């Protein structure tokens, strides 16, 4: 498939701008390939108004047709073959094996959402039947369900170009809910984005859905994204990236005449707590899992364990020594792009400039000689340093870096947990006796994060119905919703209630005859039965 570098506005290609940029090979720092055209504000307007027109039809299409659309997108992603993987590798430096697995995740989650949409219970249909004979006042017939909120602006992640990108969870969930999507291509992998965007457009065409159901805009700067978020036709925003970027979009959306929701996932330091029983039993084993997690994907995961706390003593000493030795064996590896690599180096330097924080092993100060290659860095400090400088708890370093925190007692861990702001995850290593003895720590962590892990590590997210990938601010802008797993579709649903409507005028899930066989709450009872 040819890469044009142009905007994908419904079924048309646009390149009205003369401003261009190129893909960059992160392994060499060199630009390559044909140019990509910056979207103009007119391009943004065209894409948004076409999405607004498509919304009228897309939100009322059958669940079966939207399921067909998602299955078609999965088919078209696979049909791109090696071209997709090779382009993503050239633009991100991610290994082919990793990208092959990520494509599998993207395809599988798309089919998972197709099944969810067809089954239909996600709309949360509720029926309270009327009773005209009730006294002193008749009871009205009241029915409600979720419907698509409207056109959604999607800003994909740099670190998951396939699974959380143009064709990632946000786009798939929004389309499944009946919401047109305007995707902002990530400038770190614009060619990968175009290939995925064309795959979606082909699926839209093959299923006969309105052309404005999907558009994609290119842009290296901030203007395109800001105008997209402010556009009157856009009714929700999904974003995965930095706190700075997510907060800028959130603030722009809040300043609109009609503020809209921004579902921004912005990362965290994902603290890990090592309780005494676990350290005594398996300090070395935990160290192995820890270093694997810190370095997974060159540490470029929003769930990277950035802080790990243990009680001073022989057992924590064994853990620290093992972790140091394992980290020293990790070769420097290419990061996604120069901006992330620079941010990684600056983040580590800022921490080391703080009194009381040091390198666990001075060998970690050695940097890779090649472009954008990051070395694993382990730092060490004491709980008293964190107590005096709370911001160190929240300062995410995006990359293969983590800080070991020596505590005098579990009370220090409780103090650290109490000072935490919002994070995506927290991890506890312990025994069942540890959990019972230190339940205060667990209760505190429940208030601070969206996912608690026991005897594992936060990297590696299972895409399933029960997964919650979110957390209190600043991990996300709305802790009620997940950005991974089938619950992600709920971000793009808006409740609508029908009172005393005749049967033929009701949406299918709210009619007496349950032709779709969805679960419904009928007079406070969960049932699939028709009325």
Within the chain, which residue ranges are assigned CATH 3.40.605.10? 7-266+481-491
Q: What percent of the chain has pLDDT over 70?
A: 98
Q: What one-character DSSP code corresponds to residue 471? A: -
Helices (H), 329-378: 338-352
The CATH code for residues 7-266+481-491 is: 3.40.605.10
Q: Is 155 exposed, middle or buried, given 0-12, 13-18 or 19+ CB atoms closer than 10 A?
A: buried
Catalytic residue among 194, 265, 394, 396: 265
* Residue 265 designated active-site: yes
pLDDT at 202 over 60: yes
CA distances, 114 to each of 77, 109, 282, 464, 472 (Å): 15, 9, 43, 13, 29
**Amino acid 106: pLDDT:** 98
Mean pLDDT within 284-293 = 98
CA distances, 452 to each of 128, 345, 408, 468, 470 (Å): 37, 29, 23, 10, 11
**Amino acid 15: pLDDT:** 66
Mean pLDDT within 519-528 = 98
Mean pLDDT within 355-378 = 78
320: tokens are 């620290």
Q: What one-character DSSP code corresponds to residue 460? A: S
Q: Is 127 exposed, middle or buried, given 0-12, 13-18 or 19+ CB atoms closer than 10 A?
A: buried
Catalytic residue among 302, 309, 376, 407: 302
- Quick one: the chain helix, strand, coil %, rounded to 5? 45, 20, 35
Max intra-chain CA distance, the chain: 83
The alpha carbon dihedral of 110, 115, 116, 117 has a sign of: positive
Lowest mean pLDDT among 35-44, 238-247, 392-401: 392-401
**Amino acid 393: pLDDT:** 80
Q: What percent of the chain has pLDDT over 90?
A: 93
CA separation for the pair 463, 106 (Å, rounded):
10
Q: Which stretch of DSSP H or E encloses residue 48? A: helix 41-58
pLDDT one-digit tens code per residue, 174-201: 999 999 999 999 999 999 999 999 999 9
The alpha carbon dihedral of 258, 495, 479, 399 has a sign of: negative
CA separation for the pair 53, 43 (Å, rounded):
16
Whether residue 424 contacts residue 307, with contact meaning beta carbons closer than 8 Å, is answered with: no
Mean pLDDT within 485-500 = 98
Pairing of strands 7-9, 12-14: antiparallel
**HSE value, Cβ hemisphere, 13 Å, CA-based, for 300:** 27
State the residue for tokens 């270093």: 291
Within the chain, which residue ranges are assigned CATH 3.40.309.10? 272-454
pLDDT one-digit tens code per residue, 439-472: 999 999 999 999 999 999 999 999 999 999 999 9
Mapped onto helix, strand or coil, the DSSP state of residue 283 is helix
**Amino acid 11: pLDDT:** 79
pLDDT at 212 over 70: yes
**Amino acid 370: pLDDT:** 65
Mean pLDDT within 98-120 = 98
**Amino acid 364: pLDDT:** 53
Comparing CA positions, the residue from 495, 188, 168, 482 lying closest to residue 339 is 188
Residues paired with residue 426 on neighbouring β-strands, in sequence order: 452
Task: Give 14's pLDDT tier (boundaries 50, 70, 90).
Answer: confident
Edge-to-edge strand list for the sheet holding 423-429? 358-359, 377-382, 401-407, 307-311, 272-274, 423-429, 449-454
CA separation for the pair 206, 415 (Å, rounded):
57
User: Top-level CATH class of 272-454?
Assistant: alpha beta
pLDDT at 12 over 90: no
Mean pLDDT within 104-108 = 98
pLDDT, averaged across the chain: 95
* Residue 309 designated active-site: no
Counting runs of H as helices and runs of E as strands, what totals does the chain give?
A: 16, 23
DSSP string, 63-88: HHHHHHHHHHHHHHHHHTTHHHHHHH
pLDDT one-digit tens code per residue, 317-365: 999 999 999 999 999 999 999 999 999 999 999 999 999 999 987 655 5
């Amino acid at each position: 498939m040819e890469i044009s570098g142009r905007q994908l506005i419904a079924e048309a290609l646009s390149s009205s701008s003369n401003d261009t940029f190129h893909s960059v090979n992160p392994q060499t720092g060199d630009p390559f390939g044909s140019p990509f055209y910056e979207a103009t504000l007119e391009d943004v307007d065209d894409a948004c108004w076409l999405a607004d027109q498509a919304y009228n039809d897309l939100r009322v299409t059958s669940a079966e047709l939207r399921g067909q659309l998602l299955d078609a997108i999965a088919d078209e992603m696979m049909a791109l073959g090696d071209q997709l993987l090779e382009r993503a590798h050239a633009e991100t430096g991610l290994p082919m094996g990793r990208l092959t697995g990520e494509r599998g995740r993207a395809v599988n989650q798309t089919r998972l959402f197709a099944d969810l949409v067809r089954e239909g219970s996600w709309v949360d249909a509720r029926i309270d039947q009327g009773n005209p004979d009730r006294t002193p006042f008749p009871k009205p017939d009241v029915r409600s369900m979720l419907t698509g909120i409207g056109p959604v602006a999607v800003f994909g992640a740099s670190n998951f170009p396939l699974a959380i990108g143009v064709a990632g969870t946000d786009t798939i969930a929004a389309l499944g809910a009946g919401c047109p999507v305007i995707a902002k291509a990530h400038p770190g992998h614009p060619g990968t984005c175009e290939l995925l965007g064309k795959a979606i457009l082909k699926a839209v065409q093959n299923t006969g859905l309105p052309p404005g159901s999907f558009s994609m805009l290119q842009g290296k700067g901030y203007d395109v994204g800001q105008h997209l978020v402010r556009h009157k036709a856009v009714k929700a925003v999904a974003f995965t990236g930095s706190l700075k970027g997510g907060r800028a979009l959130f603030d722009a959306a809040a300043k609109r005449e009609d503020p809209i929701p921004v579902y921004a996932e912005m990362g965290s330091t994902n603290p890990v707590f090592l309780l005494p029983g676990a350290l005594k039993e398996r300090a070395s084993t935990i160290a192995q899992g820890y270093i694997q997690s810190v370095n997974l994907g060159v540490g470029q995961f929003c769930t990277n364990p950035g802080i790990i706390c243990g009680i001073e003593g022989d057992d924590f000493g064994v853990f620290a020594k093992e972790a140091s030795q394992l980290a020293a064996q990790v070769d420097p590896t290419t990061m996604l792009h120069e901006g992330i690599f620079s941010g990684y180096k600056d983040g580590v330097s800022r921490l080391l400039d703080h009194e009381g924080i040091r390198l666990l092993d001075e060998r970690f100060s050695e940097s890779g000689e090649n472009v954008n290659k990051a070395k694993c860095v382990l730092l060490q400090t004491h709980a008293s340093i964190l107590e005096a400088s709370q911001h160190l708890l929240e300062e995410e370093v995006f990359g293969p870096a983590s800080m070991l925190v020596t505590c005098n007692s579990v009370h220090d861990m409780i103090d650290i947990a109490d000072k935490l702001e919002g994070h995506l995850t927290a991890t506890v290593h312990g025994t069942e006796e540890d959990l019972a003895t230190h339940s205060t720590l667990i209760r505190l962590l429940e208030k601070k994060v969206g996912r608690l892990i026991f005897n594992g590590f936060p990297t590696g997210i299972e895409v399933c119905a029960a997964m919650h990938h979110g957390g209190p601010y600043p991990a996300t802008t709305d802790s009620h919703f997940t950005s991974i797993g089938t619950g992600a579709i709920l971000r793009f649903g808006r409740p609508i209630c029908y009172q005393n409507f005749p049967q033929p005028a009701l949406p299918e899930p709210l009619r007496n005859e349950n032709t779709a066989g969805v679960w419904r709450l009928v007079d406070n009872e969960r049932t699939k039965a028709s009325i």
